[in-house]
Copies of this chain bind each other. A is one copy, B any other.
Amino acid sequence: MIVCSSPDEAVEGTADGSVVLVSGFGMAGMPVDLVDALIRQGATDLTVVSNNAGNGDTGLAALLAAGRVRKVVCSFPRQSDSWVFDGLFRAGQIELEVVPQGTLAERLRAGGAGIGAFYSPTGVGTLLAEGKETREINGREYVLEYPIRGDLALIGAHRADRMGNLVYRKTARNFGPLMATAAETVAVQVAAVVDTGDLDPEAVVTPGIYVDRVVAV
């Protein structure tokens, strides 16, 4: 675990073509400074996994606007302020995989938890299950879903200690704890890095084992 001196240090070495997990639900929990650093870092041809496809002109929207993203995997791209994504999508300049929100969360969890695949009842009988394997279990139909893993996760949390233990704040927690388990390199921006021992061990949400780089912004 490295406490980085800048967001740029936290995203160093990101390769073109990487799968990047980006936390946040709208702007709550969105690691804006890390995404900005990734824009400066220059990696391109990225696949981004995130609940939304960018809001307004900052954060993920700015990464999209910079032309660095080949594909977005998300549950809810279309919002009142998703004009950047909307334009790219309508122009055929970006690929989209829509995943039900709970399935997105569970696929990320499976990626972090070493689960090979799982049967979900969500989406059965809909467009989003087309072409997917289904199975009846105890009289109910399920669709087979596979894990999602990233090369890099960019996460917005509240505080970290020097071992990388994390706590989040209110509904900004959302996808952070899942994405932290499901990427090769996990970079986290926090409001403050506190001394090891200052976080309540009962209230740590993401243990430091999952975290590679932390930066206070």
Contacts and interface: CB of A to CB of B under 8 A. Distances in A.
Interface of A: 106, 110, 113-121, 135, 137-138, 140, 142, 146, 167-170, 200-203, 205
Copy number of this protein in the oligomer? 2
A114 B110 CA distance: 14
Contact of A119 (B115, B137, B142, B202): B115
Contact of A137 (B117, B137, B142): B117
Contact of A142 (B113, B116, B202, B205): B116
B169 A202 contact: yes
A119 B116 contact: yes
Contacts of A167: 202
B121 A119 contact: no
A202 B168 contact: yes
B121 A114 contact: yes
A72 to B, nearest CB: 23
Contacts of A168: 202
A155 B135 CA distance: 33
Most buried by B among A113, A119, A135, A168: A119
B203 A202 contact: yes
Nearest to A168: B202
Contacts of A117: 118-119, 135, 137, 142
Given A202-B203, A203-B200, A203-B202, A137 B120 contact: no
Nearest to A135: B116
Given A116-B121, A116-B137, A117-B118, 11 more contacts: A106-B113, A106-B115, A110-B118, A115-B119, A116-B120, A116-B138, A117-B119, A117-B135, A118-B119, A168-B202, A202-B205
A14 to B, nearest CB: 23
A108 to B, nearest CB: 14
A117 B142 CA distance: 9
A43 to B, nearest CB: 24
